[in-house]
Structure 1
Amino acid sequence: MTHVPFFRWVVVLGLIIFGASFAVYATAPEDPETKQVDLTVLSEESDGSCTVTWADPYAKHRRTGHYQCEPDRDPLLKGRAYDPDTGHGWDTGWMVTEGSRKGDLFVLGQDDAERDKAMDLSDDLIGLSLVVLIVGVVGGSIRSHYRLSGASPSTVRTARRLEQVTSRLAKDHAQAVDAVRVAWEPLRQSLVDEALGRVSVEELWHASDGGFDAAELRRCGTRTARDVLEAGTPVLSRMPGVQPGTAERLTSAAQTLADGAVRAGTGREILQRPDPRVADLLNALSVLVRVGPEGRAAAQKATELAALLSLLLDKAEPAADRRQMLRADAEERATAKHAVARLSQLLVTVEQRGSADQFTQTSIDLLRGPDADPAGIAARVDYETQPETYAHLLTELAIPEPQPLAVP
């Protein structure tokens, strides 16, 4: 059910009262259209109450009725009561010329008391409606001002632009890192194949605490640690001669050897090989080397900042538009105000450090990508000038961390 603010109801009440005032005013009695006619006074009291006749042009005959004559008119216009033939008096009156009362006599001002009463009531209602409307408008304005106190569309817009910049940089950096890992994968696999191909399955006995029959594994085609790693735990557990629980330990031992072989074989030696796969790797690494440690640090900071901005912007969404802030409930407004305050602090910090410009420039550098050189000549030349940088970056991005020893 939609909640309607209290002061909006107050304004509605004020409009209803104003409408009632207008209705009273519109229905107040009014003098009809009339025209003056001659009246023959048949009898007259001292207060002017008369019995008169007049010609009704609408009924096509003379009519007789009561009328309020003017008691102070000239005596010559009044009839002599003792003379029935010539004792008729004369006066003028007003005859209705419209509506259902057409042809009737009408005394001007006869409805003034009722009209004045209606006008007084209409005026009172107007005054009351103005008071109620003022209370509703002023109270609603104060309430709206309070509800809008946390709205800051400009802050949210600026934060959204920064979020776009940081998200773009985070995406560009992730793509550059993925390119290195994709280029490294075939070289990593060759190191694993070379190292584990020289380790027989019997040599895994102590590393895996036994639990398998090496001869049975050989008969199944699993002769080296490389075969063990390729087979994996599900296949090994179904082989003859492998005791329950041994397959996991056997696979883990082979994986440990693989990780060790990769760590031992990675470095300047592999990057100096005359191999097209090394050229691809150097090209991918050159992109990240070009942006430097500062650029990579900026990308990491942008990734963290993008996640934080995204979270705060979701919470600050009502504050992005004043109408949304007015429609939000108390909890949403409180959350939005807090989020806007956090966003303001972040924006000030970013501006003071000049981080936004650094984010943009780093993203541009990453978007340039590797040189259009499939042979990787330019990347290899650059590698020769700073081999340790390339080797360290490769180790950082592609080499798994050594696994901690299990505590028995």
Structure 2
Amino acid sequence: MVALGLIIFGAAVAVYETAPEDPETKQVDLTVLSEKLDGSCTVTWADPYADERRKGHYQCDPDRDPMFMGLANDPDTGYGWDVGWMVTEGPSKGDLFILGQDDAEYDKAIDLSDELIGLSLLVLIIGVVGGSIRSLYRLSGASPPVVRTARRLEQVASRLAQDHTQAVDAVRTAWEPLRQSLLDEALGQVSVEELWQATDGGFDAAELRRCHTRTARDVLDAGTPVLSRLPGVEPGAAEQLVAAAQALADGAVRAGAGRELLERSDPRVADLLNALSVLVRVGPEGRAAAESAAELAALLGPLLEWAEPAGSRRQMLRADAKERAAAKDAVGRLRQLLRMAEQRGSFDQFAQTSIDLLRGPDADPAGIAARVDFETRPEAYGYLLTELAVPEPQPVPV
């Protein structure tokens, strides 16, 4: 009976080992050259491993956003664009891979393997004791499909969080030269005498002038450590002086970051409108999706580490009792998160929002489309700029 049980178990392991597993992949932009109604399409993509642009067949999403549908008769766009997955390891590195294409075959092999393991367990229970039974028990917590699906969801969620962060950083980067321009214009016109009136005094304005600190701009450039060592500055006055200049700077930025600034004909304003337009297009729903993706990725990351042994029966056999217990608990929590994500349609929502963010303003460096969009909804652009880049007013310490 023991020999029979071991033979059946060996067959289960053989079936499991031959089950196809998804390779490591990453997202890649696709240019669709032709497409059928069912989504079967011919695409081109950049292969960084072969350092060339390749052409092949793929299963596109026929229900993707119309913005990604090109003109069939346009030789430059073909049928538009889509996002796919490219293999990053093994002999197929650089090839396209359709997520889930091997799931049916994989699940079928795993089901057969599970059935054989169950049968072998029944046979071995009759003929083995002790360590043999414990070894088989270790396999009970293995859940490769759950771990594999959770990894995919974590990748998509992390990618969206990263894309949203990059879009926000692009706004702040484009805003910085305009902010500096506003500061230079406003602070250079305010003398230290005017700052004296805005504080409790505590410093000699004439002494500051002799030390080449004449304006609010000079005060901020010097900072508290330098000012506190200048003659005529009483203890604590340097902090008040810097705070007053900073409040003036923040006020100038808040006052200048409005529609009048965004309506200027300036290449720097065009860059800012382009950066803002990406986030305005995705709207509050896109931001909520990005925040949800960041939270979900933060939850999935540690759980996937704890569930690592459950991703493979071989690893589960090698794990100790503490690692197996942690893996089983993590798999249970992963199932709950996957169930919630499926109910909310998170996978599709994250992928679509990431595509919208990746679209970016690269095709319109002059910002014409962004300016037209700004004219239709200037409040949205102004609100977003204020929220992302304009400081909240701070009280001046006394």
Give the TM-score category using the shorter length.
0.5 to 0.7
Question: What is the alpha-carbon distance in structure 2 between the residues aligned to residue 301 and residue 310 of structure 1?
Answer: 14
Matched, 1:385 2:376: yes
Matched, 1:321 2:321: no
Question: What is the alpha-carbon distance in structure 1 between the residues aligned to residue 162 and residue 273 of structure 2?
Answer: 21
Greater shift, 288-297 or 164-173, is seen at: 288-297
Question: What is the alpha-carbon distance in structure 1 between the residues aligned to residue 389 and residue 395 of structure 2?
Answer: 18
Unaligned residue ranges in structure 2 (runs of 5+): 3-123
Report what 1:354 is aligned to.
345
Matched, 1:181 2:172: yes
Give identity over the alignment, percent. 81
Please give the residue correspondences for 1:189-204 in structure 2 after superposition, counting only pairs within 5 Å.
Answer: 189-204=180-195
Report what 1:168 is aligned to.
159
- 1:148 alignment partner, SS class: helix
Matched, 1:335 2:287: no
Runs of 4+ in 1 over 4 A off after TM superposition: 133-136
Report what 2:66 is aligned to.
none
Question: What is the alpha-carbon distance in structure 2 between the residues aligned to residue 224 and residue 384 of structure 1?
Answer: 37
- 2:130 alignment partner, SS class: helix
Question: What is the alpha-carbon distance in structure 2 between the residues aligned to residue 153 and residue 178 of structure 1?
Answer: 37
Alpha-carbon distance, 1:252 to partner: 2.1
Report what 1:78 is aligned to.
none
Count of equivalent residues: 276
Report what 1:299 is aligned to.
290
Report what 2:238 is aligned to.
247
Please give the residue correspondences for 1:129-168 in structure 2 after superposition, counting only pairs within 5 Å.
Answer: 137-168=128-159
Question: What is the alpha-carbon distance in structure 2 between the residues aligned to residue 327 and residue 405 of structure 1?
Answer: 62
Question: What is the alpha-carbon distance in structure 2 between the residues aligned to residue 205 and residue 147 of structure 1?
Answer: 75
Question: What is the alpha-carbon distance in structure 2 between the residues aligned to residue 374 and residue 151 of structure 1?
Answer: 52
- Give the residue type in structure 2 aligned to 1:279: A
Question: What is the alpha-carbon distance in structure 1 between the residues aligned to residue 216 and residue 289 of structure 2?
Answer: 41
Question: What is the alpha-carbon distance in structure 2 between the residues aligned to residue 316 and residue 211 of structure 1?
Answer: 63
Cα distance change, pair 136–218 in 1 and its aligned pair in 2 (3 A): farther
TM-score normalised to structure 2 length: 0.64
User: Does structure 1 conserve the Cα–Cα contact (< 8 Å) formed by 2:243 and 2:396?
Assistant: no
Alpha-carbon distance, 1:334 to partner: 2.4
Alpha-carbon distance, 1:206 to partner: 5.1
Alpha-carbon distance, 1:219 to partner: 1.1
Cα distance change, pair 389–134 in 1 and its aligned pair in 2 (3 A): closer
Cα distance change, pair 243–307 in 1 and its aligned pair in 2 (3 A): same
- 2:394 alignment partner, SS class: coil
User: Does structure 2 conserve the Cα–Cα contact (< 8 Å) formed by 1:197 and 1:226?
Assistant: yes
- Per-residue CA deviation, residues 157-193 of structure 1 (Å, 9 max, x unaligned), is 1111111111111111111111110000111111222
- Per-residue CA deviation, residues 90-146 of structure 1 (Å, 9 max, x unaligned), is xxxxxxxxxxxxxxxxxxxxxxxxxxxxxxxxxxxxxxxxxxx98884434532343
Greater shift, 322-331 or 267-276, is seen at: 322-331
Unaligned residue ranges in structure 1 (runs of 5+): 1-10, 12-132
Alpha-carbon distance, 1:202 to partner: 2.0
Report what 1:286 is aligned to.
277
User: Does structure 2 conserve the Cα–Cα contact (< 8 Å) formed by 1:318 and 1:332?
Assistant: yes
Cα distance change, pair 144–217 in 1 and its aligned pair in 2 (3 A): same
User: Does structure 1 conserve the Cα–Cα contact (< 8 Å) formed by 2:151 and 2:304?
Assistant: yes
Greater shift, 262-271 or 144-153, is seen at: 144-153
Matched, 1:210 2:162: no
- Give the residue type in structure 2 aligned to 1:236: L
Question: What is the alpha-carbon distance in structure 2 between the residues aligned to residue 364 and residue 398 of structure 1?
Answer: 24
Question: What is the alpha-carbon distance in structure 1 between the residues aligned to residue 253 and residue 139 of structure 2?
Answer: 59
Report what 1:367 is aligned to.
358
Matched, 1:234 2:230: no
User: Does structure 1 conserve the Cα–Cα contact (< 8 Å) formed by 2:307 and 2:328?
Assistant: yes
Question: What is the alpha-carbon distance in structure 2 between the residues aligned to residue 159 and residue 274 of structure 1?
Answer: 48
Which of the numbers 388, 393, 396 marks the counterpart of 1:402?
393
- 1:149 alignment partner, SS class: helix
- Give the residue type in structure 1 aligned to 2:257: T
TM-score normalised to structure 1 length: 0.63
- Per-residue CA deviation, residues 56-75 of structure 1 (Å, 9 max, x unaligned), is xxxxxxxxxxxxxxxxxxxx
RMSD: 2.3
Report what 1:259 is aligned to.
250
Question: What is the alpha-carbon distance in structure 2 between the residues aligned to residue 199 and residue 405 of structure 1?
Answer: 17
Question: What is the alpha-carbon distance in structure 1 between the residues aligned to residue 369 and residue 140 of structure 2?
Answer: 58
Cα distance change, pair 175–348 in 1 and its aligned pair in 2 (3 A): same
- 1:229 alignment partner, SS class: helix
Question: What is the alpha-carbon distance in structure 2 between the residues aligned to residue 405 and residue 200 of structure 1?
Answer: 18
Alpha-carbon distance, 1:207 to partner: 4.4
- Give the residue type in structure 2 aligned to 1:331: K
Question: What is the alpha-carbon distance in structure 1 between the residues aligned to residue 396 and residue 221 of structure 2?
Answer: 23
